[in-house]
Each structure stands twice: as structure tokens, then as C-alpha cells.
Structure 1
Amino acid sequence: MFRSPFLLIRHQSTQRQLAHKLSILEKLVHKDITSFAGSNGSKVPPATAFEILKLCKLFQDSVHETKKTNVLEDELIIKSNALMQKVFLAEKVDYSQALLTDFLKLKPHVASIKFALTCYYMKNTNKVLKVETAMIPLRNLLYDAKFQEALDVIELTTGFPRYYEFKSVKWRRMVIKFFAGIVGTIGAMDLSFRFFLPGFFQSNVVYGLYGAVGTFLANAGFMAMMAFSTKGQENGALQFEKGTLPATWYKKVDQMKMCAMVLECDAEINGREGFASRPVVERIHKMGFSVNEPEQEIMLRQYWVSSGEGFVWCEPDLDPADIEWWQHLDKIGVKKIWDKDYEQLDQHQEQELSHDTPIKR
């Protein structure tokens, strides 16, 4: 394909400028991170590490603006990601969750998000991410309608094996405390009867009382654990596969909540009749969740069964946040699936108008 010499010169000039900026970043990372010499083994100040990461992110923004296709394969992007990795994994950098949160608030690109999350696990082998931290990149990706990338983030946060283990430990501790509480309660009753009611203690009734109290506490505690483990499942869009144990509910309920957000947003953009697109549904199904039937489909079926009794047709309320989201999607070139139907209808109407001939009078 022929390219104008002026455009070629401009492109080469831009590439040289970006390469020069990258060399400055490399020197900055070497000076302030790699060769940092603090007194008494001090760490790199978090503000310094954050500023360098911010510069790397701004540099990648410049690359994305100049190159629209195959950006992830660009050498400048690869090298800048390597610089970020040096900062994240540097021995003298305290890669805390606060630093990660500040970096994610910069709205980095998807590849940088994955680098940041992976490096956090590599640097902090005994820590897990908070759900609040994981929600930052998830919301940004959903806002830009990048649903597959959002599912990638879920797999690296609330769907990560270390997060499962963290929730499993909490579940086991909760169960141990529960049974220890039952034993402690019965033990306290036993001591009280021994000292204050010795006659009642020597009767056979006391053992039946212990059994009744233990059974009551076990049933009440079991119902409480069931309710606690299912906290967060009230989203309605997803449910666990049949046969899933309560312990798994507790481990994966945060992941379920985040997947439900992806599902609902995808249904708004790529879905038909309230159903999300097949790629998103299949991937969520692999995570162990089943997709419920959309609420509007259930209401429509109830409407036809009842012949419309008890229903009133009205215009749906428009959420200002939804309007702002749709305007943002139009701005970045993301079209809803039904926009194609509108475009075909407009084209058909234009063709009909063009074929009309004026009538002579």
C-alpha cells in the first residue's frame, strides 16, 4: 500500500521520539529503583515508585495513540511492561496493596493490569487481594465493554487459587469456632450443675438436656452458616451448579458477584432478549456457575399466561448512569447489538426514498 512520504517521515519521527522517551524511562528506573542506595537498608519511597509507574502508563498511552493495531506486540509496549515489572519486583520496593490500588486507579491498559496482578502474587507470596482492589480494574473494563478482559481479571483476583485457599481457611476457622462454642457451652452448663445443682447433675435427665442443647445449637449454627455462606448470591443473574457444597459457596461467592456484573453488562451490549452472548456465558459456566433466565423473559411469559392481567405497560426508567455509559460506548466506537438492526432499517428507508420519483402534476 502506498504511503505518503510526509506521513512516513512523521511516523518515523514519532517512533524516534517514543524511543527517546523510553530510554529516559530506562535510565530513571535504573537510577531510582535498581541502583537505589538508601541508608540503613531503607526502601524506595512509595511515592517514587508510583511516579515511575505513572510515567510508564503515560508512555504506553502515547504508544496506543500512535499505533492502533497490534499494540500489544509493539516493542515499545513490551519494553515498558518490562520496566514496570522491574519496579514491581525490585527488592527495595515495597509492593503493597496500597501501591497496587494507586496504580490501578490510573486506568492502565489490560496487559499492564495483568502484569501488576501477577507481580503482586510473585512479590507477596502469603497475601491475597481485597475484593475492593479487584473491583477497580473490573469496573473500568466493564465501562469500556471489554468483557473477556474483565473475566481475565476475575480469574486473577477472586478466581485465583490463592484466594480460594484464603476463603477456605476462613471457612475452616469459622467451623472450628462454631463447634468449640458448642463444646464450651455444654462444658459451662456441666460445671454449673456440678457446683450449684449436684442433685440434678446426678440424675439421668442432665444428659438428655445436654443432647437437646447441643442439637439446638448445631441446627441453629448450621442454618446461620448456610445463610452466611450464601451472602452475595442475591444478584439473581447466576447460581451455583447443582450439588455444589456450602464450603464452595463461601469460597466463590465474591467471584460469582463479579461474574454477574460481567454477565449483565454483556447482555446490555451483545445480548438478545436479555440473554448474554455465548462466549461470555460459556466462560462463566466453566467457572462453575449457571446462568439464570433473565427477569424480563420470566415477566413476559407471566404476562402471556395471565393474558395481561395485573400488568401495566409503561416506559422504562432511564438511569442517568446508563445514559452516560451508552454515550461513552458510542464515543469509543462500541455498538450495541441492536444498533445494527437500526442501521439496516435506516439504510432501507434511505433506499426507498432514493427510489421514489417525483409525481408530475
Structure 2
Amino acid sequence: MLKLGLKRSIIPVRRLQLLRFNSSTASFTQSDSPYEYIKDYPTLYEQIKTNITSNSDNDSILEAVRSIKLLQSKYPIHDQLEANSKLTTNSISIINLIFQNKNSLSPTLLKELFTLNLPTIINLKIINLYYELNPGSKTIIDKEVALIPLRNAIFNADFAKAIKITDTTVGHPNYILAKDKVMKSSILKLISTVVGITLFTKFGVTSLIDSGFLSPAWHHLGAINSILLTYIINTTFFVSIVKFGRTLISSGGDYLTWQHGTFYSHWFKHSDEMLFNSKIIESDRDLNNGESSPYIIEEICREAPETRSNRNILHAGYDRDGNKIRLMQQKDDLEKIKFQAYWMTGGDGFEWVEPDQDPAEIVWRNHLAKYNKPALEKSEVGELGWADELIDEKK
């Protein structure tokens, strides 16, 4: 794809960060596995029903869930993305069987399950089970752990489910509540520190003079210390605010920002949610030559309805149809701005730049081709082989 750039400038090629699956972390001794040669659903279901009990340890559960990958070889690869496919139905029934007698699902086991590189629809099922087996407002999924299924969904270009991954992890009410507690705790600590040090500086010197440790000539020390302390605190406070603001704004990258009227506290509590959605939009644009899919933008950047409560400060929530309002909007596309400047200036100061082909992008597109054309080699080679032979004869 051609990109427009200024003369004498170097336009860096954005490298696609692919999810690298480490097979060594998900391997097990096949001779010890009771599911080694099972590749049909009825036999696998009965074997898991026999082996998994309420007392099964995490390794046994992990091995049983890993057996779902044995079924994948019996189905077309695109069935992994379809919610109503036979593979998905069988896989979910196995997940229900494994966890039907379990009372909890630990964060450590959850992370290990994500690293199995299962289809996204299965990961969503596991996420829902995690909340069901760990009820309470303190149950959250850490951002670093949530990134694993997100990258898996993006790698498979399953962007609709990637948005659901975001909503059920860093966009979950429990996660937002935890971020709110962190924000309030930080503000309270800052205020307490300022008040404490100020009172100690003001009244501490007086106490030392009264007790005889300091001469009355040092009485002015309290006022001087108060001035210096106030300066230091103010400087630290404003520097923290600047860094805080930059962090929140940069969470959307070059793609997302907050809708006008969104309060700053919402920025902090939903910054990770914006970060995840910006990764989805970035990957979608990489596949569509810099353009975003309308359904993704419509879902992520849905405008808040004009209501009496939203006149001054926008509030996240849901519209009348049950669609989520995230209070996010697209940033101005830098490439489109370049094109506008190019036409307005008649091309003066610009040149066309052809970036090098990114090997990671080639691998990614070849991977997606398996989902979009799963039976290409089997069907077209046999049926259209005569056309290839005819073309070769005429060369």
C-alpha cells in the first residue's frame, strides 16, 4: 500500500505484534495422557466424564480442556470461529462437563487455560465460568491476563468477539469498580500526606521550641518550611496530573479519544478498555488498507444519547436497544489529513513512499487465509487443475 509522506522524512513501518504461542508451555507427555488418540466427540466426552471429578487438580483439568484441540483436526478450520458450528457446540459441552462439579477457578488456572490458544468463543465461555465460580465484586481479570485471549481473537481477525473479550475483562463492572477504588485511594493518600506534613511542619517546630530542644530564634523555621513544602507539594501534584493525563490520552493511541463531555474520572476507570479497543481498530485497519470496518466503529464509538442527565457530563451505559455506550470516538485519521494537505498544496513537499513488506504481516494474512478459504487446496486443485494445465501449455 502506498503511503504519502513528507520529503526527506522516514516513515517507519508499523510492525504487527503477533501472538506467539509457546508450545513448550502447553505440552504434556503424550504417553501419560488418557486423551492421546481420541479424536471423536462421543469417546472424548465419555473419557473426560470418567476421569474428571470434583477432586481433580488443575493439571488434570488443564489436560482435559487441552483435549478440545484434538477435535479441531476433524472439522474445517473456519468452524472454530462460528458460534453455532458443531465444533463449538461440542467444545462448550466438554467445558460444561469439566467444570460442572467445580466450586472455583483460580486466576492461575485461568491464565493457563488462555495460553492453550483455544477458539475465542471457548475463551468467552471460560471467562463467564470464572465469574460464576468466583462470585463477588472483587473478582477481576488482570489486564496482562486479559491480553492473552484478546491477542488470540485479533490474530484470527475475530474482531466482534475481541470486543466481547474487552467488555468481559477490562470493561467488566468489577474491573471498573477496582479502578475506581485505586483512584480514590490515590487521591486520599495525596490529601492525607499534604495535610499531615503541613500540620507537622507548622506545629512541630512550635512543640520543639516549647520543649526546649530548639531556641525561640528558630520560630520562623515553621513558616519557611511551610512555604517550601507548599511549593514542593504543588509541583509534585501538577507533575502527577500531567503524567496522569498523558497516560489516559495515550491509551487510545492514534485511533480513539473520548467524546466531548466525558468526565476525567471516567477516563481513568476505562483507560484499559480504550487501550484494548484501540488495538482492535488498529488491527482492523491493517487488514483493510487503512480503513475501518463500519460495524466495529459503530460498536465501539456509539454516540451517547441526548438525555437530560447527559447535557453537561456524559455517562456511560446502554441505550434503549441494549447497546453499550462506551463514550469513545475516533481520532482524526492522520493519513487522510496528509492526503488533504497533499491536494491543497498540489503535492508540493510530498513524495510517495513504498514501505517494505512486513514479514509478520505476511504470516498473519496467510493464517487468515486458512479461515477464509479452508478448502481451497482440496476443491480447486481437483476441479480447476485443467485450467492450470491449459495456461502452462500456452506459455
Specify the TM-score bucket, using the shorter chain as the normaliser: 0.7 to 0.9
Q: CA deviation at 1:293?
A: 2.0
Distance in structure 1 (CA, Å) of the matches to 2:349 and 2:87: 62
Cα distance in 1, alignment partners of residues 120 and 170 from structure 2 = 17
Does residue 290 of structure 1 match 2:329?
Answer: yes
Superposition pairs for residues 209-224 of structure 1, below 5 Å? Answer: 210=226, 213-214=229-230, 217-218=233-234, 220-224=236-240
Q: Give SS of 1:254's match.
A: helix
> Residues 241-295 of structure 1, C-alpha deviation per residue, up to 9 Å, x if partnerless?
1122222111111111110111112123346xx3311110011113221101222
Give the Cα separation in 1 of the matches to 2:81 and 2:365: 26
Q: Does 1:27 align with 2:38?
A: no
Change (3 A) 1:85 1:303: same
Q: Residues 78, 313 of structure 1: CA spacing in aligned structure 2 closer, same or farther, 3 A cutoff? A: closer
Partner of 1:124: 134
Q: Percent identity?
A: 22
Matching of residue 324 in structure 1 with residue 340 in structure 2 = no
Q: 1:68 to 1:191 in 2, by over 3 A?
A: closer
Question: Which one has the bigger helix percentage?
Answer: 1
Q: Residues 275 and 294 of structure 1 are in contact (CA less than 8 Å); yes or no, is this contact kept in structure 2? A: no
- 149-158 or 282-291, which moves further after superposition? 282-291
Of 94, 97, 106, 2:107 maps to 97
Deviation at 1:176, TM superposition (A): 0.5
8 Å contact kept, 1:303–1:311: yes
Out of 103, 114, 119, the residue aligned to residue 109 of structure 1 is 119
Q: Deviations over 1:52-106 (max 9, x none)?
A: 11123433x25644995996446775464244235346446x5222211111111
Q: How many residue pairs were aligned?
A: 302
For residue 92 of structure 2, the aligned residue among 71, 81, 91 is: 81
RMSD: 3.1
Secondary structure of the equivalent of 2:329?
Answer: strand
Q: Counterpart in 2 of 1:236?
A: 254
Instruction: Determine if contact 1:50/1:103 at 8 Å carries over to the other structure.
Output: yes
Q: Give the structure 2 partner of residue 47 of structure 1.
A: 59
Q: Equivalent residues in 2 for 1:326-345 (5 A)?
A: 326-333=365-372
Measure, in 2, the Cα distance between the counterparts of 1:69 and 1:329: 12
- Structure 2: distance between partners of 1:105 and 1:277: 28
- The answer to which structure, 1 or 2, has the higher relative contact order (CA under 8 A, 6+ apart) is 2
Q: In 1, distance between residues paired with 2:99 and 2:130?
A: 7
Counterpart Cα distance in 1 of 2:80 and 2:268: 42
Change (3 A) 1:197 1:291: farther
Residues 126-205 of structure 1 aligned to structure 2 (within 5 Å): 126-194=138-206, 195=208, 196=214, 198=216, 201=219
- CA distance in 2 between counterparts of 1:66 and 1:268 reads 23
For 1:311, the aligned partner's letter is: F
Distance 1:19 1:300 in 2: 58
Structure 1 residues 210 and 178, CA gap change in structure 2 (3 angstroms): same
> What amino acid is the match of 2:333?
P
Whether the 8 Å CA contact 2:88–2:122 is kept in 1: the answer is no
Q: Is the 8 A contact 1:88 1:120 kept in 2?
A: no
Task: Report the AA paired with residue 362 of structure 2.
Answer: I
Is 2:257–2:328's contact at 8 Å kept on the other side of the alignment? Answer: yes
Q: Report the TM-score when normalising by structure 1.
A: 0.73
Q: 1:253 aligned to 271, 275, 282, which one?
A: 271
> In structure 1, what residue type is equivalent to 2:340?
R
Deviation at 1:118, TM superposition (A): 1.0
Which moved further from structure 2: 124-133 or 177-186?
124-133
CA contact (8 A) 1:147 1:280 kept: yes
CA distance in 2, matches of 1:224, 1:131: 23
Aligned CA distance change for structure 1 residues 232 and 90 (closer, same or farther; 3 Å): farther
Partner secondary structure for residue 169 of structure 1: helix
- State the shift of 1:22 in Å: 2.0
Gaps of 5+ in 2: 1-38, 209-213, 303-325, 374-395
Q: 1 CA distance for matches of 2:261 and 2:50?
A: 56
Matched-pair contact (CA < 8 Å) for 1:64–1:71: no
CA contact (8 A) 1:53 1:84 kept: yes
What amino acid is the match of 1:333?
N
Gaps of 5+ in 1: 1-15, 37-43, 335-361
Task: Give the Cα–Cα distance (whole angstroms) in 1 for the partners of residues 225 and 82 of structure 2.
Answer: 72
SS in 2 for 1:313: strand
**Contact 2:248–2:268 (CA<8 Å) still a contact in 1?**
no
Structure 2 residue identity aligned to 1:242? H
**Contact kept in structure 2, 1:89 and 1:95, CA below 8 Å:** no
Please tell me whether the aligned partners of residues 233 and 256 of structure 1 are also in contact (alpha carbons under 8 angstroms). Answer: no
Paired residue for 1:275, among 284, 288, 291? Answer: 291
One-letter amino acid of the counterpart of residue 294, structure 2? R
